[in-house]
Amino acid sequence: MHALYRSVATLMETVAAEVVLPRYQNLAVHEIEEKAADDYVTIADKESELRLHEGLLKILPEADVIGEEATAADPAVLDRAGGGLNWIIDPIDGTGNFAAGRAPFGIMVGLVNDGIIQAGWILDPLTGRMCHAALGGGAFIDDERVTARESGSDKPVAALAVYFMTDEQRAEIAERAEGKFTLVDIPRCAAEQYPRLVLGQNDVSLFERSLPWDHVAGALLLNESGAKLARRDGTPYVVGDKKRGLLGAASPRMWDLAQSILC
């Protein structure tokens, strides 16, 4: 698995250096498109996905490739996510931030077999930080094994992503959370949100939409570091199950507490 880790990490670092960073704060207006309300894609997303797709097939030719932008062009691509061996690509996570010329944003890659996450990589192109994990092999930041830790704050620090919820759901979450957490802004970037749970910056994160390119790498990072990510009812996150809602926390104890309050 180490050889696989290094091959994928090198590919991601190369794509960041040659495709993503040259476009950062250097996008023309016509190079930014709005796929849907508040959902952007740039020329860098498209070029990054193409390069990652080609490179990952060379690393593991027997795997299929499921990318965010390929799925945007053909939604049927996502139907393959739960079966067989699949690379999962988020060519730029946090595109809204990237398009606006601000951090954070990241590149995420995951490897999934029959819906079970086998490995994941999260690269911060601006700092070079690489978070990665392998099923049963632990979680790492760069080359150092990492164990998740709680923030230690008087009230758990929570970043609750409610923008894909209905008005009624948002109101219910706000009522349940009031006075129980220290609420902080979400970074609008899962590639940043997941490391915050491991590094003791945040204690709890709630997500409504669970598209695989946003969550595969982060889910494994949390669970292999001793933190926890699961469906809100406590069942595992299985890629391709088409369910909604994910609750992440810096420890199983914190997860149980958050579930008792929010769910």
For the chain, which domains are there? 2-145 (3.30.540.10), 157-262 (3.40.190.80)
- The answer to whether residue 163 scores a pLDDT higher than 90 is no
Name the band, by pLDDT with cuts 50, 70 and 90, for residue 68: very high
Q: Residues 124-133: pLDDT tens digits? A: 999 999 999 9
In a 10 Å sphere around its CB, with 0-12 CB exposed, 13-18 middle and 19+ buried, how is residue 60 labelled?
middle
pLDDT at 33: 87
Contacts of 22 (CB under 8 A, 6+ apart): none
pLDDT in tens, 215-247: 999 999 999 999 999 999 999 999 999 899 999
Q: Give the Cα separation of 16 and 26 in Å (integer).
A: 14
Where do runs of H (alpha helix) occur along 35-124?
43-59, 68-73, 95-99
Do residues 27 and 6 touch, judged by C-beta distance below 8 A? Answer: no
pLDDT at 67: 94
